[in-house]
Amino acid sequence: MNAVIELAGVSKTFAGARVLHDLTIAIAEGSFTALVGASGSGKTTTLKLVNRLVVADGGTVRVLGDPVDSLPVTALRRRIGYVFQGIGLFPHMSVAENIGITPRLLGWDRARIAQRVAELLKLVALPADYAVRLPAALSGGERQRIGMARALAAGAKIMLMDEPMGALDPVTRDRLGRDYRALHGALGLTTLMVTHDIQEALLLADRVVVMAAGRIVADASPRALLEGGAAPEAAALIEVATRQSAEIAAMRAGSADG
Amino acid sequence: MDERFAPALAALPADLAAHIVLSAAALVLGMLIALPLAAFAARRPRLRAVALGLAGVVQTIPALALLALFYPLLLAGSTLVRPLGLSLPALGFLPSLMALSLFAVLPMLRNGIEGLIGLDPAVLEAADAVGMTAWQRLRIVELPLAAPVVMAGVRTAAVWTIGTATLATTVGQTCLGNLIFTGLQTEDWVTVLVGCIAAALLAITVDALLALVQRGVSPRKPARVIAGAGLLIAGVIAALAALAPGTHTRYVVGAKNFGEQFILAALIRDRLAATGAQVEVRSGLGSAVAFRALAASDIDVYVDYSGTLWTNVMGRTDTPAPAAMRASITRWMTATRGVRVLGPLGFENAYALAMRRDRAAALGVRTIADLARVAPRLTLGADLEFLGRPEWRAIAHAYGLHFAASRAFSPTFMYRALGDGTVDVISAFSSDGRIAERDLVLLTDPAQAIPAYDALILLSPARAHDMRLVRALSPLIGSITPERMRTANLSVDRDAGKISPDAAAALLAAPPVRRNAGG
């Protein structure tokens, strides 16, 4: 399988503090990879290296085989979708204008943009009449659906997601996660998602990369991680997740018995 | 309509139109400086601090001083560009525009920067991530979102500019300040009021229209933006149209900032206008500004006083006899400045020290020497210039004068202060009609520390040999006796039954009693 994102020997230092150490990872086309780790583990920095929101000090970052600094940064970003916890919808623009921003920057004509916006609203399961609303009139979950639609609008096949559901309530989070997972498969996307929630990672991704202190400490499928044998940092995360699930299941069983 | 409003209302349209054009030009120029600077400096903390600091320093300079400072700067600039065959007008519109634009920068710069750095970082990150260039991010995201805050800064700047523009009168720019300053000097409160109310109404109207634009930019109501901006632009165009015929002025008559000067400027204007010439009066000029403006040919003619030229312009400290002084002034002016002294009007307006008759009698003061004995217990009231003038230093030095305190007033308030005992002695002008009216005594000057102050007509280097001007004004030489000038001055300065400087000039012109100028 082709690697669409490759990081080789990448390091990064912020204000004297080293946040990434000689990091190497390849992301295969069509994969759904979760980057998991505690705050400060370097997972968000790793993600942002891909669309050059962060520039590496050393090593190489390639997207679709080309080093990221070999083409204009705007061209690079217009072919990569980016979805993050802050969402960052443009508050003075309608939903349609928000979704259509990258096509507009790419110079698409109005009719083509309007058609694409209609397609995307359907894709993210929102009513067509949302097109004329302003972001302030939407719920948090609806806003992030628009954020995802905006990221996909110009036909990006690579999606970078930074805690995309971090600010949502658990029910909305669960639904949006499942819906995105389905989109990922249907559109043949390659997704790299940062999350600190190991359960979310285990449920959505087909590959989980655990980071600690700027290094990769585990890299396996969810099933392999659950079966054990991972590094201590990863094992601890898995242990918490499985124990909490078991405790909740036991509680439920107890109340059903009583 | 009350009779007393007529002269002020007649002058209002021209003053208002000039005020609008000046304010609008200054605001637009200020915006062209402030907004790009705000956009450039917003994300550069060090530059931001420097820019805000500089704009803040400009704001602490009194507006009047900033206007006056541009005069010598432009004169120096004019010297620099002269080899290129260019000249900069150092008086009037250009210095007013520059000073007012600088004043307008701070509120727009501060709000521009605050509007830009106060934006949601998530929105800016999204703008970068969707692939906007820096310019696209500014145009599509940052400016529209910062617009309400930026517009608030523009509104503040507009109100400040319209208010401060009234001071442009002092550097010879016609504006609503002409009504205010002329009215203040002649205690014509109706004229002052007309000027103040017009400036206030203009500021309120412009602020309301800009508020309409501001409310239009945030919730995206283009109709409001178009209506507000359209009305503003229409106002400026109407003002420009109103001014257009007046721009081809042939002669510019200068006047300093007191009643006698207003009357003489009106007299000169009327004589020139009678020849069919276009004439403009620039009144309210500071003493030093008036002479420099004449030497630079920014104004064509004005009346100054021999003692003032002798001490302040030529820097002399001796006090020769009046005729000898006039002769050497005439030679010096021609030789060093190219300024022509057309001749004396026939009266003197000397600096003098005056007291209330009862107070002087009680203290036993008749001469300045007498005054020096009791001065340490007395308060001196002076006009705004006197304490800074070499004449005052000469008098103080010659008699060893030391007052307990000294206070500066505009002339009309100085007389009030003497009347109610706030001050004991004032710096008066010998041609002032109020001296007789208020029964004041002028203290004699046995040491002859005060030079003569013969009123002289001065012509600029460019007009020194303008025959139309010379022919029109020569009949004024020696034609105004001290008594006639004092009567004319009193007619505009007195509290009850006062007349306008224009009417006083007409009275003064009525029976031109020809008299020998006496050298």
Binning pLDDT at 50, 70 and 90, where does residue B277 land?
confident
Could you tell me if A43 lies within 8 Å of chain B, comparing CB atoms?
Answer: no
pLDDT of the residue at B513: 46
- Strand, coil or helix: what is B516? coil
pLDDT at B518: 39
- Indicate if the pLDDT at residue A136 is higher than 90: yes
**At A207, is the pLDDT very low, low, confident or very high (cuts 50, 70, 90)?**
very high
Q: What six digits make up the tokens of B368?
A: 């300045």
Query: Do B128 and A53 lie within an 8 Å CB cutoff?
Result: yes
What is the pLDDT at residue B200?
A: 95
Strand (E) positions, B293-397? 301-305, 340-348, 351-356, 379-382
Report the percent of chain A where pLDDT is more than 90: 65
Please give the average per-residue pLDDT across B213-234, as a whole number: 82
Residue type, position B85, single letter? G
Lowest-pLDDT choice from A237-241, B113-117, B159-163, B324-328? A237-241
Per-residue pLDDT, averaged over A110-138, amounts to 93
* Cα angle for residues A104, A110, A114 (degrees, 5° grid): 95
Contact B131 A150 (CB under 8 A): no
Please judge whether B125 and A84 are an interchain contact, meaning their C-beta atoms are less than 8 angstroms apart. yes
Read off the pLDDT band of B385 (50, 70, 90): confident
CA A51, CA A57: separation in Å to the nearest integer? 15
pLDDT at B247 over 60: no
Strands (DSSP E) contained in B286-424 are 301-305, 340-348, 351-356, 379-382, 405-408
- Mean pLDDT confidence for B292-307: 89
CB-CB contact of B231 with B183 (8 Å): no
Chain A residue numbers with beta carbons less than 8 Å from the beta carbon of B144 are: 92
Query: Do A105 and B123 make contact, defined as CB atoms within 8 angstroms?
Result: no
Most confident segment among B273-287, B453-467, B492-506? B453-467
- The nearest CA of chain A is from the CA of B410 a distance in Å of 54
Residue A83 confidence (pLDDT): 94
> Binning pLDDT at 50, 70 and 90, where does residue B36 land?
very high
Rounded distance between C-alpha atoms, residue B332 and residue B320, angstroms: 15
Tell me which of A105, A146, A160 to substitute to probe the interface with B (most B C-beta atoms closer than 10 Å).
A105
Tens of pLDDT along A48-94?
A: 999 999 999 989 999 999 999 898 999 999 999 999 999 999 999 99
Chain mean pLDDT for chain B: 86
- Of all residues in chain A, the one with the smallest CA distance to B126 is A88
Q: Is A189 helix (H, G, I), strand (E, B) or coil?
A: coil
When pLDDT is cut at 50, 70 and 90, the band that residue A230 belongs to is: low
User: In terms of CA atoms, which chain A residue is nearest residue B123?
Assistant: A88
Q: Give strand pairing partners of A87.
A: none
Residues 209-228 of B with CB under 8 A from A: 218, 220
Distance from CA of B135 to the nearest CA of A (A): 12
| Residue A137 banded pLDDT, cuts 50, 70, 90 | very high
Cα–Cα distance measured from residue B324 to residue B338, given in angstroms and rounded to the nearest whole number = 20
Interval A156-200: pLDDT, tens: 999 999 999 888 888 888 989 999 999 999 999 999 999 988 888
Residue with the larger pLDDT of the pair B118 and B247? B118
Report how far residue B32's alpha carbon sits from residue A165's, in angstroms, rounded to the nearest whole number. 44
- The segment with the largest mean pLDDT, out of A113-127, B2-16, B264-278, B461-475, is A113-127
Mean residue pLDDT of chain A comes to: 90
Percent of chain B with pLDDT over 70: 95
Given an 8 Å threshold on Cβ–Cβ distance, is A51 in contact with B133?
A: no
Of B125, B131, B136, the CB nearest to A86: B125
- pLDDT exceeds cutoff 60 at B245: no
Give residue B511's pLDDT.
59
ipTM (interface pTM): 0.91
The pLDDT assigned to A116 comes to: 94
Q: Which residues of A touch B218 (CB under 8 A)?
A: 92
- Judge whether residue B514 has pLDDT over 50: no
Length of chain A: 258
pLDDT(B217) > 80: no
Residue of A63, A68, A73, A74 best to disrupt the B interface, most CBs of B under 10 A: A74
Checking if the pLDDT of B515 tops 60, the result is: no
- Element containing residue B60 per DSSP (H, E): helix B45-60
Q: Provide, for chain B, the percentages of residues in helix, strand and coil under a 3-state DSSP scheme, each rounded to the nearest 5.
A: 65, 10, 25
Over range B12-22, report the average pLDDT: 89
CA distance B24 to B31: 10
Q: What is the pLDDT of residue B244?
A: 67
Contact A91 B123 (CB under 8 A): yes
Res B483 pLDDT > 50: yes
B92-151 pLDDT, tens digit per residue, is: 788 899 999 998 998 999 999 999 999 999 999 999 999 999 999 998 999 889 988 999
- Asked if residue A235 has pLDDT above 50, the reply is yes
The pLDDT, as a whole number, for residue B519 is: 35
Cβ contact, residue pair A88, B126, below 8 Å: yes
User: What is the pLDDT, as a whole number, of residue A256?
Assistant: 62
